[in-house]
């Protein structure tokens, strides 16, 4: 039997701003709760691959992930992405340095980044979530656009983070 994947990602934002204006209480609020749900599959609004890892990178270390063939999922199967639908990176609060994502030396996976040299710095305790819920997601090209680099942003201490990549095999 082939493995199946059912995915649901929900984010919750609830903020309330309060103050006294001209001797009267004033407030404004923001409530947002986007949810992304994908049944198993490779078509529109579907995903069939998930890669997760908890990583500790030593000072100044980097890791380059080949999204088209070298990753292994939680069941021990090779996890080859053709499209990425979500990238989630959660940096440990105890980190001293940033976790830096992007900027691989060659065959860069651009995903949500605009250029091969672009990078995103995730601060200690920070969280990065990029979602592409449409039919194509972010395309991965084996040997041409499949390397995702993650680096320790400093040279003195290690960094630890959780990484989750969700996508489709076709």
Query: With contact defined as beta carbons under 8 Å apart, do 81 and 68 qualify?
Result: yes
Q: How much is the pTM? A: 0.92
d(CA 170, CA 42): 5
**Can you give the pLDDT at residue 1?**
65
d(CA 59, CA 24): 53
**Can you give the pLDDT at residue 134?**
86
**Can you give the pLDDT at residue 43?**
84
Q: What is the pLDDT along the chain (170 residues), one digit of tens a residue?
A: 689 999 999 999 999 999 998 889 999 999 999 999 999 999 888 999 999 999 999 999 999 999 998 899 999 999 999 999 999 999 999 999 999 999 999 999 999 999 999 999 999 999 999 999 888 899 999 999 999 999 999 999 999 999 999 999 99
Query: With contact defined as beta carbons under 8 Å apart, do 104 and 165 qualify?
Result: no
Structure tokens at 22: 């001209």
Could you tell me which residues come within 8 angstroms of residue 21 by beta carbon, excluding any fewer than 6 positions away?
A: none
**Can you give the pLDDT at residue 2?**
83
d(CA 59, CA 83): 31
d(CA 168, CA 165): 10
165-100-162 Cα angle (round to 5): 40
Q: Is 46 helix (H, G, I), strand (E, B) or coil?
A: coil
Which of the listed CATH numbers 2.60.120.380, 3.40.50.300, 2.160.10.10, 3.40.1180.10 matches domain 49-168? 2.60.120.380
Pairing, β 99-101 against β 147-152: antiparallel
Query: With contact defined as beta carbons under 8 Å apart, do 167 and 137 qualify?
Result: yes
Beta bridge partners of 108: 147
Q: Is 20 helix (H, G, I), strand (E, B) or coil?
A: strand
**Segments making up each domain of the chain, as ranges:** 49-168
């Amino acid at each position: 039997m082939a493995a199946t994947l059912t995915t649901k990602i929900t984010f919750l934002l609830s903020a309330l701003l309060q103050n006294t204006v001209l001797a009267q209480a004033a407030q404004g609020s923001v409530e947002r709760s986007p949810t992304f749900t994908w049944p198993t599959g490779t078509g529109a609004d579907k995903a069939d691959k998930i890669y997760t890892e908890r990583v500790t990178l030593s000072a100044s270390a980097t890791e380059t992930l080949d999204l088209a063939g070298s990753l292994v999922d939680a069941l021990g199967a090779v996890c080859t992405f053709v499209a990425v639908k979500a990238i989630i990176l959660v940096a440990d609060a105890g980190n001293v340095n940033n976790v830096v994502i992007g900027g691989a030396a060659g065959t860069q996976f651009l995903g949500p980044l605009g250029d091969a040299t672009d990078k995103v710095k995730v601060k200690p305790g920070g969280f990065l979530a990029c979602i592409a819920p449409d039919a194509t997601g972010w395309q991965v090209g084996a040997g041409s656009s499949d390397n995702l680099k993650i680096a320790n942003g400093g040279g003195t201490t290690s960094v630890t983070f959780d990484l989750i990549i969700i996508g489709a095999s076709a």
